[in-house]
Structure 1
Amino acid sequence: MVVGHKNGINVNTASNSLRVQTPLIELSQNVQVVTSKVLADQQIISMSDGLIRNVSGTARSEHWGDLYTNIVSRGSQIQAFRNGMNVVASYWGPLTEDMSFVDRIEFVKGPAGFMLANGDPSGLYNVVTKKPTGATKGEVNFTLGSFDLYRGSLDLDGALSKDKKLLYRFNVAAQNRGSQRDYEYNNRFVVAPVLSYQLDDKSKLTLEYNGQFARMTEVGSYYVFSRKGYGTFPANFTYTNPGLPPTRINDHSGYLTFEHNFSDNWKLTAQGSYFGYDQKGMSSWPSYVAPSGDSLIRNIGIWDAKSTMALGQVFLNGTFKTGSIRHRFLAGLDAANKNYYADWGQSHDLDTIGALFDPYNPTYGTPVNGYPVFDRTRPIEERAVAAGGIQKQRYSSIYVQDEIAFFQEKLRLTIAGRFTDVSQVYGVDVEYSKAQRFTPRVGLSYSINKSFSAYALYDQAFTPQAGRLFNGGKIKPITGNNMELGLKKNWFEDRWSTTLSVYRILKQNELTGDPVHSSPSQGYSMVLGEKIARGVEFDARGTILPGFTAIANYAFTDAQVTEVAEGAVGYTVGQLLPGYAKHTTNAWLGYEIQKGTLQGLGFNGVSHP
């Protein structure tokens, strides 16, 4: 694998898409950044490839394999963003980003609605894509791995004009990838061109396209069921069957960004984007399990989906003083229109009652009940009506924030507020339900010295949610608040950084699957009630000695139900919430030879649960 020398693993500034001007050590929020060097050194090629081991308290389920990432942190699934845009059109999304066009991933812990519109109180991750740098350079990567992994990628960066006003970045990647489970595969092709043009000394226009084209095994093939628990079957065992058609996904996204510097202290950024997603595929689940033993009927269900999203935002950053008091000002508008259609209303059994699939003596020829043939003659929008697979959302919001610095800028008080108006539809195409809310934010940060700071944060969240209740009723947005204390320290001239945080997150009105009426054809939800997540998180990263780098983290998480809504079944007060571990630790060490004929050769090791 050929890797050029890049920036280190420890940074102190956020990307422009996070909208904040404050250095991370002074920010009254916990933000962890996984840099391009970390992605390269750890040979991460997808959002699902061990990326989360670099950030404390994050976890994900294998539920969707490499289709969707669905990261859980602080007791809840966090929101997915790309270049500052909320790219969640439904619970199932977005498609995992291929790392060939990714520059960094920023994890914002705790609510960040003040800077990135609607979001969960537990946080979000922001995928920042590669942009032209103005330097002429290129990079080629070849990756070979176990289970038939063959991958190549190309990254070109440079200027298209002599005056370097017109710049480009071009990334392309292709992979064939198998699995430890037989008959599974995940093949992709990616293309991501970017053009930027410097209109004048103060203005720049950037046009970007990301295209991902996937061909993979049906969703759910990752599952292995057994009454005897883990480790019952060999590592290569699978319930899928050769001969099933692949799930095909075409994922397109485009961005147009305008940046204008009125002066050294004031900047306007406007961005519009469009996302188009098309999926033709299937999911697999057992439809019947024998009363004793592990024999079952494998069922293949259709899962076709279409998603479109149009998003826009404009924000103004400024710095000014009133006497001896310094202000960092932020104000902006966000708007989005999202539509998701899915057909999961057709299914087919591969096996029959008289010929169950026996996992202890599996046969993978032509299924006894034949292969599925689904009706796709009608448009997906029509089929989604019958399947109850419609999700729509429109929102707009306005926000203002001021970070006020006192006492030679050692003490910083952040006051912010956002007003959000949202309308949405879930399940069937009926009248939009509407909600509005103002959410405030107060943060305090104090610099003990230039490399050591303490912060406190109180933030409220407002997260619209989609669903439908079996007995009817209005779906309310998730409301919640986050209280957090933390310490941040940079060591050895900023070569090493540590963050320690203690938090409490309260969430109300959150929906969860109705255990009685939650099949894909029904898709009903119920209101859980109230839950609280508490925890302690510690992150450390940096360069120990020249060429020797390390990342380590620990998290203690306690998330449980504190109130159960009337009619909610299957939950009790004090019950722990699924999807996280109470204690998680991760460590990664890397060493790169600094001199001699082997200069640049690296060795890496990782330890995680």
Structure 2
Amino acid sequence: MKLTCPRHPASPARGIALALLATTSLSVAALSAAPAYAQQATSYDIAAGPLPTVLNQFARQAHVELIYDAPLTQSATSSGLKGSFGAAEGLSRILAGTGLTYRQTGPNMFTLERAPTADAGAVQLGPVRVEGGSDTYASGGSLPSSAATTERTKSYTTNAVTIGKTVLNPRDIPQSVSVVTRQRIEDQNLFTLSDAMAQATGVSISTNGTQRNSYTVRGFEVGILQIDGLPTRLDTDTLLSADLSMYDRVEVLRGPNGLLQGTGDPSASVNLVRKRPTSELAISGAVSAGSWNNYRAELDVGGPLDKAGRLRVRVVGSFQDNDYFYDVAHQRRWLVYGIAEYDLTDTTKITAGYNYMGSRSTPTLNGLPRATTGADLNFSRSTFLDSALNRFRFNDQEAFAEISQSIGRWNAKAVFRRATGHNNLYSVGVFGAANPVTGLGPRLNYLSNPDYRDKQTGIDAFLTGPLRLFGRDHTILIGGTARIRKNGFSYENMSPVTPPPPVNVFNFDPYAVPEYKFNGVYSFRVHGTDKEAGIYATARLSISDSLTVILGSRLSWWENQALYDQPALLYFPPEISKKNAIFTPYGGLVFKVDPDTSLYASYADIFQPQSATDYTGGILPPVVGKNYELGIKRGLFEDRLNVSFALFQIEQTNRAITDPDHEDFSVAQGKVRSRGFEAEATGDLAHDWKVSAGYTYTETKYIRDPDAQGQVFNSTTPKHLFKVWTDYTLPSNLKAWSVGAGVQFQTRFYVDDGAFRLVQGSYALANARIAYQISPNLSASVNVNNIFDKRYYTTLTGIRRGNYYGEPRSFMISLRGKY
């Protein structure tokens, strides 16, 4: 946790050009340790009370920043502070009797930690250490990663995020940032990434079948996922919807993040942050049971393995078995995750971990068709128009390692990740528009039997720290990243049925569809290799106490090779695409009106290679997405509630459109635009009242396109999207009870399929929760989603297939324990 307070004025910055030069030429002197820190006495009058409240008041009055894990102070109280003291002495008095001590880690920074324990078991206040070298430094600089941890904070907000490599207060980031915290995950039973994204501000979701979802932000699809800051392809065939039992939080930075991500669309960066080992023994678990035979269990155990606490481990496991609201479909999935941290020295930490996720399911990949007139056939939401023999098997393994090194006030970190995925699919289902009277017209569709394998390897290394120039501390980040992805899939021919048998969608029996066997001949095979590397640098330049300028750039190298094997063709040459030294700039301003309020402006872009060619045979230049954003962020109630408002405009250029002089080729002249605004509030409205609310207005348009000029670019993105969830603990004798409620509202969306337009009108979903704290370590809850059983489509694709209902009213009972 970080408590931010005013800092003493310093002289204005001079010679900004020299500061920019310093981003690529770092002085060795910057690595030297800082001297000891002087203390100035301040008069305090802070009443006794809960330790977090006392610390908040102290931090504000003393003009210091306090860094600590929130669980350390959760149940502690303090006798307050009255009198005139230096910051260190005042903090010592506040912590007296709490079992906590501190280290001074900067001129106005203190890190809280548990005090050493004597052999006899009595807690003793350890010596206060004043350190010149640290992993924390000037305002706007990086904080310890533990400062961003959200578990056991009981909060819907956080004052630190890690999506930008370093740990920063969201008010120091000149783009919109949302965080789905651990408390929110547990309160709403957000078991998967899809569940969390459905609750995140500005995100709309499309269902493409059982376990297959896509996410859209600001009119563009999210194609890259970060795991602890390391980018990986968000591929629905390999990553699917990640199980959140192993993650502390989900961070969403809206707009492009090409500086640290590389390629992608200008939608958002989604960062899954893994749970880390705890400094003390911690055990938690949960069991749940709900509608459609939905059963789930989780277990989470972590803590130190040695007396000194230098070696810490954590193991998480989950298992879920469930049916769906539509007939036949079923899923069984499991996860095992383990991580270990070891403090090799006081300044060196190594981390290693592994996780395995598996799934076995009977899916639908065809969804529901429409009538030949384009009308809705009004199927029951339980309708399943696929074979009962459909099967989807998925296995994903991931291994990772990290090493971090403190060098005075600088930090170096290297991260390695290796992930492999394998899935096998058998799918037969109904395809084709149906006569609205007879139900005839569709036939069975064979998706063959795709076998898919994916291997991704990534590495990232960076150095960050303060650079003292012209009497001010600036923050520098320099790094490099590389990743390679190899994937391959094959489509197998089924036993021939020519033509495929017709079906009646009003009288379809999934169990009557025979199994069609693989005839031993592959119809199609693809082997692909993606390589991407980049070097990046950013500088956070402290122009004054109020103004910070953020400048950054990246050079990227990208290569894609696809090898096709199709027996029907005598020759199918490989496709090879390369892009070298693609420049990606970034710029931002953050102006602090006061310690709790920041105004910001930013420019960010990102590129996406494309395979279209011009009439000379050359590959078109990459598509470029540019984001312009203005906003304001403010912390209220001593940073317990964070609010923000942003205006944005995204322009995507170089899109391939038909060459008017050569119809069979393309030119990079297309352009689309997305613009709108967002508002968000997350945190505590009062001591026992949590809230998360977000509203997004988005308007998309084709700016240059010969066939769609001036039309809506992404018709599946709702113009208005509003999400709110709140939870309140009842007062007095009823304080063991809490109630929660939420609403998700969006305006209409549509798709065009030839002459037909399929429309889903505006709709709202209401959700609720009631919970009872049985004991300090055990709670029970009941969640109800879609209380009023609203009937709606979450996805529309066309008249032949791919239309999916949203989930009807559902219930879930949960029992959760923590130690």
| TM-score of Structure 1 vs Structure 2, range by shorter chain | 0.7 to 0.9
- CA 1:221–1:158 in structure 2 vs 1: closer, same or farther (change >3 Å)? farther
C-alpha distance in 2 between matches for 1:450 and 1:558 = 34
Bigger shift: 156-165 or 269-278?
Answer: 156-165
- CA 1:205–1:470 in structure 2 vs 1: closer, same or farther (change >3 Å)? farther
User: Counterpart of 1:544?
Assistant: 685
User: Counterpart of 2:541?
Assistant: 404
C-alpha distance in 1 between matches for 2:613 and 2:278 = 47
Quick check: 1:512–1:525 contact (8 Å CA) kept in 2? Answer: yes
SS at 1:161's partner residue?
A: coil
- CA 1:512–1:12 in structure 2 vs 1: closer, same or farther (change >3 Å)? farther
C-alpha distance in 2 between matches for 1:467 and 1:343 = 24
User: Counterpart of 2:118?
Assistant: none
User: Counterpart of 1:299?
Assistant: 445
User: Counterpart of 1:442?
Assistant: 587
- Flag structure 1 segments of 5+ consecutive residues without an equivalent: 514-523
> Cα RMSD (Å) of the superposition?
2.9
Quick check: 2:624–2:652 contact (8 Å CA) kept in 1? Answer: yes
Quick check: 1:304–1:342 contact (8 Å CA) kept in 2? Answer: yes
Q: Please tell me whether residue 312 in structure 1 is matched to residue 456 in structure 2.
A: no
Q: Please tell me whether residue 41 in structure 1 is matched to residue 177 in structure 2.
A: no
Report the Cα offset of residue 468 of structure 1.
8.4
User: Counterpart of 1:576?
Assistant: 713
Amino acid at match of 2:725: W
What pairs with 1:205-216 in structure 2 (closer than 5 Å)? 205-216=350-361
TM-score (norm 2): 0.66
User: Counterpart of 1:73?
Assistant: 217
Q: 2:671 aligns with which of 530, 538, 546?
A: 530
Q: 1:359 aligns with which of 489, 505, 518?
A: 505
Amino acid at match of 2:233: V
Quick check: 1:60–1:72 contact (8 Å CA) kept in 2? Answer: yes
Quick check: 2:171–2:634 contact (8 Å CA) kept in 1? Answer: yes
User: Counterpart of 1:63?
Assistant: 208
Quick check: 1:326–1:406 contact (8 Å CA) kept in 2? Answer: no
Bigger shift: 113-122 or 251-260?
Answer: 113-122
- CA 1:231–1:594 in structure 2 vs 1: closer, same or farther (change >3 Å)? farther
What pairs with 1:249-328 in structure 2 (closer than 5 Å)? 249-263=394-408, 265-284=409-428, 286-289=430-433, 294-295=439-440, 296-301=442-447, 302-328=449-475
Q: Please tell me whether residue 393 in structure 1 is matched to residue 534 in structure 2.
A: no
C-alpha distance in 1 between matches for 2:200 and 2:609 = 26
- Flag structure 2 segments of 5+ consecutive residues without an equivalent: 1-149, 565-572, 659-664, 746-819
SS at 2:619's partner residue?
A: coil
Quick check: 2:386–2:429 contact (8 Å CA) kept in 1? Answer: no
Report the Cα offset of residue 4 of structure 1.
8.6
Report the Cα offset of residue 595 of structure 1.
6.0
C-alpha distance in 2 between matches for 1:487 and 1:588 = 22
- CA 1:403–1:61 in structure 2 vs 1: closer, same or farther (change >3 Å)? same
C-alpha distance in 1 between matches for 2:283 and 2:576 = 49
Bigger shift: 134-143 or 118-127?
Answer: 118-127
Amino acid at match of 1:86: P
Report the Cα offset of residue 89 of structure 1.
6.7
SS at 1:365's partner residue?
A: helix
Bigger shift: 442-451 or 3-12?
Answer: 3-12
- CA 1:330–1:231 in structure 2 vs 1: closer, same or farther (change >3 Å)? farther
SS at 2:270's partner residue?
A: strand
Amino acid at match of 2:542: A
Alignment coverage as a number of residue pairs: 576
User: Counterpart of 1:519?
Assistant: none
Q: 1:218 aligns with which of 348, 356, 363?
A: 363
Report the Cα offset of residue 230 of structure 1.
4.5
Larger radius of gyration: 2
C-alpha distance in 2 between matches for 1:345 and 1:231 = 33
Quick check: 1:55–1:539 contact (8 Å CA) kept in 2? Answer: no
Cα deviation 1:381-402 (Å, max 9, x = unaligned):
xx5xx52534321011001110
Q: Please tell me whether residue 26 in structure 1 is matched to residue 169 in structure 2.
A: no
TM-score (norm 1): 0.88
SS at 2:245's partner residue?
A: helix
Cα deviation 1:306-363 (Å, max 9, x = unaligned):
000110010111113212332111010010111121223545789966x632222222
Quick check: 2:225–2:234 contact (8 Å CA) kept in 1? Answer: no
What pairs with 1:162-181 in structure 2 (closer than 5 Å)? 162-181=307-326
Report the Cα offset of residue 85 of structure 1.
1.8
Amino acid at match of 1:30: S
Quick check: 1:72–1:579 contact (8 Å CA) kept in 2? Answer: no
Cα deviation 1:537-572 (Å, max 9, x = unaligned):
11111111222111111111011211126xxxx644
Amino acid at match of 1:267: N
Q: Percent identity?
A: 22
SS at 1:534's partner residue?
A: strand
Amino acid at match of 1:311: G
Bigger shift: 83-92 or 157-166?
Answer: 83-92
Amino acid at match of 2:318: A
Q: Please tell me whether residue 112 in structure 1 is matched to residue 257 in structure 2.
A: yes
Cα deviation 1:20-49 (Å, max 9, x = unaligned):
343211221221111111111111111122
C-alpha distance in 2 between matches for 1:4 and 1:423 = 40
What pairs with 1:443-592 in structure 2 (closer than 5 Å)? 443-465=588-610, 474-510=619-655, 529-564=670-705, 571-592=708-729
Cα deviation 1:83-111 (Å, max 9, x = unaligned):
21222175755321101111111101111
C-alpha distance in 2 between matches for 1:189 and 1:181 = 22
C-alpha distance in 2 between matches for 1:123 and 1:591 = 31
